[in-house]
């Protein structure tokens, strides 16, 4: 499984950067890996947030499920373009 990645740029005071680098070197890992480790340790016991769908979203979902027999499929982008032009 491929996990999506994001890149984050942070500015640190030079003294803090040097301290973190020395800690990372102590464990034989790159600075970025050490910072990632610190973040993972910070959130390891947190529960991932779960959000309930709004009534509006649930209503739209139920409507879509009732109308799924009206779904249209396309074998290429040209068919989609033609369908959209004729709406």
Per-residue pLDDT tens digits for 66-76: 999 988 899 99
How does residue 55 score in pLDDT terms, banded at 50, 70 and 90?
very high
- Closest by alpha carbon to 32, among 46, 17, 47, 13? 17
Statement: residue 48 has pLDDT above 90:
no
pTM tops 0.75, yes or no: no
Q: Cβ of 71: how many Cβ atoms within 10 Å? A: 7
DSSP label of 68: G
Statement: residue 40 has pLDDT above 90:
yes
| 26 within 8 A of 33, measured Cβ to Cβ | no
């Amino acid at each position: 499984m491929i996990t999506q990645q994001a890149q984050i740029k942070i500015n640190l005071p030079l003294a803090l950067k040097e301290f973190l680098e020395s800690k990372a070197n102590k464990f034989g890992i790159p600075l970025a890996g050490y910072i990632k480790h610190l973040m993972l340790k910070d959130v390891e016991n947190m529960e991932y947030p779960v959000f309930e769908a709004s009534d509006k979203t649930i209503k739209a979902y139920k409507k879509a499920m009732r109308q799924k027999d009206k779904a249209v499929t396309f074998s290429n982008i040209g068919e989609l373009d033609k369908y959209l032009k004729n709406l």
